[in-house]
Amino acid sequence: MRTTVEVQTMSDSDSRVDDLLLLTPEDAAAALSIGRTTMYALLSSGAIRSVAIGRSRRVPVAELHSYVHRLLEPVEE
């Protein structure tokens, strides 16, 4: 018996970020409308957390929401 699995990526026109749990750094950058280099800088600095799965790096969608929420918080002086 053969099972077919459909894989969605951010490049699919009908795909939504909220339908996925983890994104590649490139797809996460696209979701935030920033460049790949900026995304890797945010990951390196710890501003956005990611997980390792084997040799791959993935960014939880919830972490992107959290990052944007932190950006919107007022700065206390």
Can you give the pLDDT at residue 13?
41
Rounded Cα gap, residues 63 and 31, in angstroms? 12
The per-residue pLDDT for range 8-21, each reduced to its tens digit, is 555 554 456 568 89
Can you give the pLDDT at residue 14?
42
The per-residue pLDDT for range 21-58, each reduced to its tens digit, is 999 999 999 999 999 999 999 999 999 999 999 999 99
pTM: 0.72
Rounded Cα gap, residues 9 and 60, in angstroms? 14
